[in-house]
């Protein structure tokens, strides 16, 4: 079930809002027109449940945030 995957992903990314944002961005990049969006979301959440993938994405997010101009 998706809730089990979300709970596993929250172990690696404790901030649920960051997890939601990362899943949304990754789903847009990962989505294939031949694949249902629900399946793409489940795959992405499953990847974030993997500790190595999650830490890699958090590093990328941190790099992007440091390069954004101050508002």
The residues spanned by each domain of the chain are 2-67
Whether the Cβ atoms of residue 54 and residue 9 lie closer than 8 Å to each other:
yes
Nearest to 37 by CA among 48, 18, 29, 4: 29
pTM of the model: 0.67
pLDDT, tens only, 17-69:
988 888 898 888 888 889 899 999 998 888 888 777 777 777 777 776 676 56
């Amino acid at each position: 079930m998706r809730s089990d995957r979300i709970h596993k992903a929250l172990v690696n990314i404790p901030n649920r809002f960051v997890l939601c944002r990362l899943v949304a961005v990754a789903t847009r990049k990962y989505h294939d027109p031949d694949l249902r969006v629900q399946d793409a979301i489940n795959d992405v959440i499953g990847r974030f449940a993997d500790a190595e993938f999650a830490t890699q994405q958090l590093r990328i997010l941190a790099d992007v945030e440091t390069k954004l101009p101050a508002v």
